[in-house]
């Protein structure tokens, strides 16, 4: 079964899948959804964001978390296809929810509803490297990263740059690594230019596989992909010097 949107909504990291594949999959289900629940302030408040498409045009009737109706905002992309609208929904600004590490979310529409159970990973306590931050990586070196919390998988974002903006040899190459292991290695396939690498963000995710083989984890009138995630922005820099 193909996923509907095939990207991590919160970070807009595109993974795979096409609009046509999504439309074909929707024809087999009344609804398809992808929903993310994450802390806004750790252990204090949380928020949700998601996307849903139906076999025909529809309205969202309500969103419930732990059986309580919550406020939400929406945007409909009516140009997504000729037969259905892609609807985005999210927690309104400054209307965040009390933090609940695990629970149930339900979304009801005019053509059906979906529900599922989420769990948010713990916030990272540390990120450890086999080099000191600011060290120089040379030919054959690998940057090894260890993460301490438990999740189904991790999405590490990095940025490789050279010199300063405006220099004739300047380049800036962003990338991501998706790993099911808490030990992540960045090798010479990525560390292949002199300059520096920033480790910029690590997302820890609990939920179905983000790739196309996943069958989802929501029930009701269709299929859905529900994720609990926590994101930690960091700015750890290492130099790269290749001879």
Same domain, 70 and 153: no
DSSP sequence for 129-156:
ESS-TT-EE-TT--EEEEE-S--SEEEE
Residues with Cβ within 8 Å of 146's Cβ and at least 6 positions away in sequence, in order, are: 127, 128, 129, 182, 183, 184
Residues of the chain with pLDDT > 90, as a percent, come to: 66
Number of domains observed in the structure of the chain? 2
Domain that holds residue 198: 127-204+233-240
Reduced to 3 states (helix: H, G, I; strand: E, B; else coil), residue 20 is helix
Q: What is the CATH number of the domain that holds 94?
A: 2.60.40.10
pLDDT, tens only, 167-181:
677 888 999 999 999
- What is the value of pTM for the model shown? 0.83
Same domain, 111 and 147: no
The pairing of strands 153-162 and 171-179 is: antiparallel
pLDDT of residue 167: 66
pLDDT, tens only, 86-121:
899 999 998 999 999 999 999 999 999 999 999 999
Q: What is the CATH number of the domain that holds 156?
A: 2.60.40
């Amino acid at each position: 079964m193909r996923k509907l949107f095939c990207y991590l909504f919160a970070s807009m990291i595109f993974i795979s899948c096409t609009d046509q594949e999504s439309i074909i999959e929707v024809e087999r289900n009344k609804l398809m959804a992808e929903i993310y629940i994450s802390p806004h302030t750790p252990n204090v408040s949380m928020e949700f964001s998601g996307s849903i498409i139906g076999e025909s045009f529809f309205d969202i009737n309500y969103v419930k978390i732990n059986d309580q109706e919550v406020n939400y905002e929406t945007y409909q992309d009516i140009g997504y296809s000729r037969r259905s609208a892609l609807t985005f929904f999210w927690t309104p600004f400054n209307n965040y929810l009390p933090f609940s590490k695990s629970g149930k979310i339900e979304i009801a529409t005019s053509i059906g509803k979906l529900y599922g159970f989420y769990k948010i990973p713990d916030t990272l306590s540390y990120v450890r490297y086999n080099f000191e931050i600011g060290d120089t990586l040379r030919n054959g070196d690998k940057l090894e990263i260890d993460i301490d919390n438990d999740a189904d998988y991790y999405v590490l974002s990095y940025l490789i740059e050279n010199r300063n903006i405006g220099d004739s040899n300047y380049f800036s190459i962003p990338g991501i690594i998706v790993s099911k292991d808490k030990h992540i290695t960045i090798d010479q396939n990525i560390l292949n230019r002199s300059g520096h690498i920033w480790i910029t963000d690590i997302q820890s995710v609990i939920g179905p596989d983000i790739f196309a083989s996943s069958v989802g984890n929501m029930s009701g009138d269709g299929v859905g992909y529900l994720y609990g995630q926590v994101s930690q922005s960091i700015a750890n820099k290492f130099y790269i010097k290749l001879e």
